[in-house]
Chain A
């Protein structure tokens, strides 16, 4: 399927989850496709990076469920900050990053909530009155936070390889929570660096890299360098100069229009050429933190 086919399934007001972490292995080709679409009023669930910032800049986000938004080597995302500080994004559910994976897991395994201590006694508890507590039915009687299931209408993730049937392989050192995002969603779209035969994927790497099985995925989109400007290690690192340019485009509406015209309102082939082509991206070293 194509990125356009996947995004065409979105409707106004849907809740979407975006895999990856910060500036790492974000499905940016799919995010750019969402920016180009007419869809609006999205609730976005993410370990946020430029995916969140770009969707905020494009006015797509009605509500954000998040633990942080960061570009990693650039600590804060300028577009997200602009959206928050201008009042354009008043509706946020700010939660502990462990609570976020817990909410996805609850949705995945079809329970209404999972208990944890994280969040209790903090502003996360007081500013999110829809999050309830629950008392242990056992002798300890402890009161715990009941992290509600974060049910997603659609999930978007980016991995290294997929086969045609939707088995996905992650070669980077951290799978993040992509499997939980897929498990929590009704429709699951996976972009990948390349579509390979099942035998080629499983034959060339450790079996542990086969993170997504085909029960977790509905659509596979071949999108080489589809995580750029975020990292997809070991293939390529974070494009810091590009993220600096992206950050500067938060200066005002004109700057964002220029960024958008140059990098978003174009097809992916043109995008790749404009950002320096495959050779340049392949030369970006893995990040050192």
Chain B
């Protein structure tokens, strides 16, 4: 591996989650997801909508860090319109959960019991609505047995455990698309829609990934090496999307 950083490869791998998305709001929560959505928009998914985490739709990605120049404003999207848009299915979010489990449940809420958590995190935010209404992907920058777990402490979003699905509830819009970690790329097409290894980053191995995962991991028939960024992708990341190099510390 040479000529690019781990974070840059993760951004490229995460961008792939948005491939094939048409006119949907691509929301990357956190630095790598945000840069990934921007990279997808500038390359293979030009119809994506982006916003500024406040209430402005923009037609060009916003570089994180000190802002220079005007935003390329495309529209107005206050929070109540965000809810309408996401409940209508026209969104694809990528979050950075504190825990992600075998059947695709994520946790951004707390570690420990509800009455007295060991660690109180943000709260479920909009994840319940996101995961049951539109495509969702995840980025985990610190793949370990503490983050990729058998079962999350709190299911902030939906996943694929039949016991958690009440009869009559519509699951048709659930689309847990991709999980990208600092070690590999995964989908949820293993047995029983469990987490499945698709590709291994050049600096990792299947053995390491299994060792850092708290459950026996399914694997695709053929597991590839995650593709390295192209020269054009690196140019876009470095010169256009993240000129302030905030990604330098994205993997901790």
List A residues at the B interface (Cβ < 8 Å): 21, 48, 66-70, 75-76, 80-81, 84-87, 90, 92, 94-99, 101, 116-127, 133, 135, 141-144, 173-177, 287-289
Is B97 close to A, CB under 8 A? no
Contacts of B109 in A (CB 8 A): 94, 123
Bound together, the chains give a CA A125 to CA B164 distance in angstroms of 9
List B residues at the A interface (Cβ < 8 Å): 52-56, 66-67, 76, 78-80, 83, 86-87, 105, 109-110, 114-129, 131-133, 154-159, 164-171, 173
Bound together, the chains give a CA A135 to CA B53 distance in angstroms of 35
B82 nearest in chain A by CB position: A98
Q: Are A289 and B122 in contact (CB under 8 A)?
A: no
B110 nearest in chain A by CB position: A84
Q: Are A143 and B122 in contact (CB under 8 A)?
A: no
CB distance from B38 to the nearest CB of A (A): 14
Contacts of A84 in B (CB 8 A): 110, 116-117, 120
> Of B115, B128, B156, which one neighbours A90 at CB under 8 angstroms?
B115
Q: Are B168 and A141 in contact (CB under 8 A)?
A: yes
Contacts of B128 in A (CB 8 A): 95-96, 99, 118-120, 122, 124
Q: List 26 A-B contacts (CB under 8 A).
A: A48-B123, A67-B125, A76-B120, A84-B120, A85-B119, A90-B114, A90-B115, A94-B109, A94-B123, A94-B124, A95-B124, A96-B126, A116-B87, A116-B129, A117-B129, A117-B170, A118-B87, A122-B132, A123-B155, A143-B169, A173-B55, A174-B54, A174-B55, A174-B79, A176-B79, A177-B79
Contacts of A99 in B (CB 8 A): 128-129
Contacts of A133 in B (CB 8 A): 166, 169
Contacts of A70 in B (CB 8 A): 122-123
